[in-house]
Amino acid sequence: MRPSLQNVVASTFRGLHTVAPLSRPQRCFHQPIFASIPRKRSFFTSHRLLASSTKDGVSTTSEDDTTNSSETQQQSPTPASKRKPVRASAAKTLRLGLTTKPPQRTTTPRKDTTDSEMDYRRTITSICVAQSFDMEAVQDILRFHAFELDPDGTEFDPTGVVHARGINNGDIFVFPSGTVVAWSVPTDALMTLATKQLIRAAQLPHLNRLEMEELEFIPDESRDTSYMKGEVVVLGTRAQELENHRLDTTLAKIAFSSGLARSPKLAVLENQAIDYFQNSKNSLDFIEGGLEHKLKRSAVLKMTGQLLSLRSQLNHYSDITDQLPDMFWDSESNLENYYNQISTILDIRQRIGILNKKIDYGFENVSVLREMVSEKYGHRLEWIIIFLITIEVLFELRRVYRESISEASSE
């Protein structure tokens, strides 16, 4: 017999009374109503603009606040990100003296470039890796690596400059002063070429003292001539675009590159002078303290040789001090103008004059140390002579004493 609905419901209620009561749930903390309300702009602030209250979604600032805010906006300068910082040149650093190392110079990123490709295509990079290059070996290395030599027929003497083209259609100029200048060539590719390939043709390389200089250039299709606009080279490419004739453009690049190549070469010599003065500082500190300086003659000779080598590299073994390279004498007059423009921007003449004065100062210090060392050795020789004379006098007294004793005994 099936149980009725009433019996089922009654048995269910009886089971609920027999089941153990459930555990009481733990009480949770809830966010109060006032804490959930959004914080007003005027909450704990003394800023006049933030303290302005809002009503019905419309800002109701006072007239004074509006006036002050407008004045603040007028007086506030333009954002720094929209301004291109000025690139620090090597000459500006050298004007402070050769007692501190100049900071690493790199160009600031251009705001009109969106990727690295556009960056290097508007960059002139110059790097000095050695004291000099064997230009015949340079040509052999570039030919071996499938570079096209003198592609535009400039017919310059290869002992003065070697022009090659091959990396992304960029131009590479190698100078006998141990410097390589590249136009529109990636920096890593130029470093690989200069430090791994061309280094085999280098004489007295200095890979631990590399110096690099970078400038920006802008092609101008509406001009035949080029010029310097600040520290930016404006390259006239009208003949190249209209007649597909790159000779004039290449000649301008060679003139600018020849002037730019002097800057990293000069920076290497500047750093050598800085290192020399830092190393000789200890000797001068001994003299300043009135202490006897324990300097050997070989050390003074080494310091003299460093200064002589520095001066010879600056004034004799390179074309840094030349007013105009020999290869430009028979060329157009514009090349001399380009060379002088970039040399003026980089303050080449002023830096050469300052470095020569610093070398003169170094020679004065060396001459003082040389005199001190010579005086020290002279004093030593004097004491040796005095000691020998004393011994001779003692032997003579001994002889006279023996003679007197012998005469007394014979009598």
Task: Write out pLDDT tens, residues 296-323.
Answer: 888 888 899 999 999 988 888 777 877 6
The mean-pLDDT minimum among 78-82, 147-151, 281-285, 377-381 falls in 78-82
Specify the pLDDT at position 37. 55
Tally of CB atoms within 10 A around 388: 10
Which residues are paired to 179 by β-bridges?
128, 175
When pLDDT is cut at 50, 70 and 90, the band that residue 268 belongs to is: very high
When pLDDT is averaged across residues 197-219 and rounded to a whole number, the result is 92
Specify the pLDDT at position 98. 38
Inform me whether the pLDDT recorded for 72 exceeds 60.
no
How deeply is 176 buried, as exposed, middle or buried, from its count of CB atoms within 10 A (0-12, 13-18, 19+)?
buried
When pLDDT is cut at 50, 70 and 90, the band that residue 100 belongs to is: very low
When pLDDT is averaged across residues 182-196 and rounded to a whole number, the result is 92
Specify the pLDDT at position 287. 73
Give percent of the chain above pLDDT 90: 35
Tokens 């010879």, residue?
312
Phi then psi dihedrals of residue 124, to 5 deg: -110, 120
When pLDDT is cut at 50, 70 and 90, the band that residue 49 belongs to is: low
Pairing of strands 211-220, 232-236: parallel
Pairing of strands 54-55, 58-59: antiparallel
Tokens 């004793």, residue?
405
Inform me whether the pLDDT recorded for 371 exceeds 60.
yes
Q: What span, in angstroms and rounded, lies between the C-alpha atoms of 79 and 191? A: 35
Task: Tell me the one-letter amino acid at 277.
Answer: F
Domain residue extents for the chain? 106-265, 268-377
Inform me whether the pLDDT recorded for 116 exceeds 70.
no
Q: Which residue has the higher pLDDT, 231 or 111?
A: 231
> How many residues are listed for the chain in this entry?
411
Q: Which two tokens stand for residue 140?
A: 């052999």
Inform me whether the pLDDT recorded for 97 exceeds 50.
no
When pLDDT is averaged across residues 38-58 and rounded to a whole number, the result is 49
> Is 142 in contact with 164 (CB distance < 8 Å)?
yes
For the chain, the average pLDDT equals: 75
Specify the pLDDT at position 68. 46
Inform me whether the pLDDT recorded for 27 exceeds 80.
no
Specify the pLDDT at position 198. 94
Q: Which two tokens stand for residue 63?
A: 């007239």
Q: Which residue has the higher pLDDT, 194 or 38?
A: 194
| DSSP-derived 3-state class of residue 106 | coil
106-265 CATH: 3.30.310.10
When pLDDT is cut at 50, 70 and 90, the band that residue 241 belongs to is: low
Specify the pLDDT at position 4. 56
Specify the pLDDT at position 329. 66
Specify the pLDDT at position 261. 92
| DSSP-derived 3-state class of residue 56 | coil
Give percent of the chain above pLDDT 70: 66
Specify the pLDDT at position 293. 60
When pLDDT is averaged across residues 249-266 and rounded to a whole number, the result is 92
Q: Which residue has the higher pLDDT, 275 or 84?
A: 275
When pLDDT is averaged across residues 229-245 and rounded to a whole number, the result is 81
> Is 269 in contact with 355 (CB distance < 8 Å)?
yes
Inform me whether the pLDDT recorded for 146 exceeds 60.
yes
| Cα distances (angstroms) measured from residue 323 to each of 58, 226, 263 | 71, 20, 14
Specify the pLDDT at position 242. 66
Q: Which two tokens stand for residue 299?
A: 């050390």
Q: Which residue has the higher pLDDT, 271 or 106?
A: 271
Specify the pLDDT at position 388. 94
Q: What span, in angstroms and rounded, lies between the C-alpha atoms of 95 and 197? A: 35
Tokens 């690295």, residue?
116
When pLDDT is cut at 50, 70 and 90, the band that residue 155 belongs to is: confident
When pLDDT is cut at 50, 70 and 90, the band that residue 163 belongs to is: very high
Inform me whether the pLDDT recorded for 156 exceeds 80.
yes
Inform me whether the pLDDT recorded for 33 exceeds 70.
no
In sequence order, what are the residues at sequence separation of 6 or more whose Cβ sits closer than 8 angstroms to the Cβ of residue 368?
A: 287
Q: Which two tokens stand for residue 192?
A: 């690989």
pTM across the whole model = 0.65
When pLDDT is averaged across residues 155-172 and rounded to a whole number, the result is 86
The mean-pLDDT minimum among 4-8, 283-287, 376-380 falls in 4-8
